[in-house]
Amino acid sequence: MSLDGRIAAVTDRIIARSKAARGPYMERMRKLAEDGPRRAHLSCGNQAHAYAAMGADKDALVAARAPSIGIVTAYNDMLSAHQPFETYPDKIKAAARRVGATAQVAGGVPAMCDGVTQGQVGMELSLFSRDVIALATGVALSHNTFDAVLYLGVCDKIVPGLVMAAASFGYLPGLFVPAGPMVSGLPNDEKSKVRQQFATGAVGRDVLMKAEMDSYHGPGTCTFYGTANSNQMLMEFMGLHLPGASFVNPGTPLREALTDAATERAAAITALGNSFTPVCDILDEKAFVNGIVGLMATGGSTNLVIHLVAMARAAGIIIEPTDFADISAATPLMARVYPNGLADVNHFHAAGGLAYMIGELLEAGLLHPDTKTVAGQGLALYAQEPKLRDGTLSWEAGPGASLNDKILRPARDAFQPQGGLVELVGNLGRGVMKVSAVDPARHVIEAPAAVFESQAAVKAAFQRGDLNRDVVVVVRFQGPRANGMPELHALTPLLSVLQDRGHKVALVTDGRMSGASGKVPSAIHVAPEALDGGLIGKLSDGDLVRVDASAGQLEVLTQGVADRIAAQPDLSANSHGVGRELFEIFRANAGPATMGAGVVV
């Protein structure tokens, strides 16, 4: 089927908008690619240092015959999603040798867990860790010895940071290698109910702890469809994973075979062979549009609205919030995965998963079919799924129909005709709202504001009963320049309780909410942020605020707000403790959310 005109129009305007940046970027990448194998330009002394610990692989590297694969890993063993990477380097090295290549761990990048830091001070470093990961990857690859790179990362800021770096080193081929989701534990909706019960005092901490431990219980990505699993989806839609690699559980034979296959493919697409595929050729405007379509069709995390903008900028591509909204309007919501439904990612994968979804969206003309990928030419390769037959890995046609229509539906009979993300624009600035899990009856909220400058203050007001009414909770000075733009997901149970009591409730913030923001209408990423002159910094308790997802409006209706003097909070506490003093330069130089809240792009 021909490409949908709405998708084509968004793509064309992104190409036009990006021309001044994309052209010079690609010219730099082409020039660097022409240099050939990187290590050929190193001195004998440079190479001796690089190969000193390579043992039997030294001769092949010196002769420049063997593809040299760099491994950039986000391994640590306190993150369930990254713990499986502990054994990957040795497996990758063995797989490389089998095809006449070599592999080395080029370097590690930090990986922090938003689940551990949620509601804690450490969350103020979370968004900036993305830029640190990009910088650390730059250091790892600065030795200039590799012909291709395998990027080992999964979670919230790790994949975006690695993609930013992969784009910066876009003259090199690169594959992203996932570890897969943990097997299913306590259902996410049951966990959510316990959290709400704890918030009201109906159950004690012992019950809460048991529910949390039963939900997050083993190696692999958390099973709800938050940022981490949205990242994995994105890497398939954009052609940086092998087809079907995202949601295969850790420690399984298929997972091991896919890691071997990624290594073999990395060796095959270097400039030493006949299938040279540098990252810069994959990450073009069409690939980013495909990624946004995937985000909307699956109801993915709102964090990607920031991260995709930053990733694209690293590749010389300029994406704006309106692009997300217009693609969302053209894309049907095909999946119901928690928090948009009761299923988890394992159930989604079993129902047909990404192979079915990509096939459907291609048939509906909602994806660019002609993109380059690490697997070869054309996104149709990703409508296939991997199978292990008698120990041999192959790809077969994916399901032609959903295996569970309560979880996954065809594009022509989707759960909703639109993807569920809207842009909000008004005198309070620009923001976005994920509405795929929000009852349409709550798409328009008009209520008096209750203004706060910290999550702790909101919790205290809730506990006092001050919020037991129709209310728009405004949490400001949460933007990247103020305190690093932490997620406010810890507020979700409180706001859900108020909503369940029958009140009209909405959240407005210049901070972030995760993909688990759920059923409460939340206007997030509001820009300009309060610290950067946004009108949100002049709001007072009782101001009438309208949050209208139907009309795309974010307005304060009270007259005279713009004439007030902006609030001047004491942000000194944000500058120290738990490493925050090290990130002052990041806070001072961070861009707005509409530009990806980046420091290095």
How many whole angstroms separate alpha carbon 125 and alpha carbon 425? 28
Mean pLDDT calculated for residue range 458-478: 97
- Summarised one tens digit per residue, pLDDT across range 579-594 is 999 999 999 999 999 9
Mean pLDDT calculated for residue range 240-256: 96
- Look at residue 561 in the predicted model and tell me its pLDDT: 98
- Look at residue 373 in the predicted model and tell me its pLDDT: 98
DSSP-derived 3-state class of residue 536: helix
Q: Which of 448, 444, 440 is nearest to 473 (CA)?
A: 448
CB atoms within 10 A of CB 264: 16
Report cis status (omega within 30 of 0) of the bond before 24: no
Q: Give 534's contacts (C-beta < 8 A, 6+ positions apart).
A: 428, 429, 476, 479, 510, 526, 527, 528
How many whole angstroms separate alpha carbon 421 and alpha carbon 433? 6
- Look at residue 213 in the predicted model and tell me its pLDDT: 65
- Look at residue 43 in the predicted model and tell me its pLDDT: 81
Mapping DSSP onto H, E and C, the string for 334-378 reads: CECECCCCCECHHHHHHCCHHHHHHHHHHHCCCCCCCCEECCEEC
Mean pLDDT calculated for residue range 385-389: 94
What values do phi and psi take at 180, rounded to 5? 90, 165
Q: What is the mean pLDDT of the chain?
A: 93
Burial state string for 569-583 with b = 16 or more CB within 10 A and e = fewer than 16: beeeebeeeeebeeb
Report cis status (omega within 30 of 0) of the bond before 339: yes
How many whole angstroms separate alpha carbon 84 and alpha carbon 248? 12
- Summarised one tens digit per residue, pLDDT across range 34-54 is 887 777 778 888 888 888 888
Helices (H), 548-592: 584-589
| Total count of residues recorded for the chain | 601
Q: Please check the confidence at residue 421 and state whether its pLDDT lies above 80.
A: yes
Query: Hey, what are 550's tokens?
Result: 């139907």
Cα dist from 347 to 253, 424, 549, whole Å: 19, 33, 30
- Summarised one tens digit per residue, pLDDT across range 282-297 is 999 999 999 999 999 9
DSSP-derived 3-state class of residue 413: helix
Could you list the beta-strand ranges (E) of 2-147.
Answer: 68-73, 102-108
Q: Please check the confidence at residue 11 and state whether its pLDDT lies above 90.
A: yes
Q: What is the CA radius of gyration of the chain?
A: 24
Mean pLDDT calculated for residue range 327-347: 91
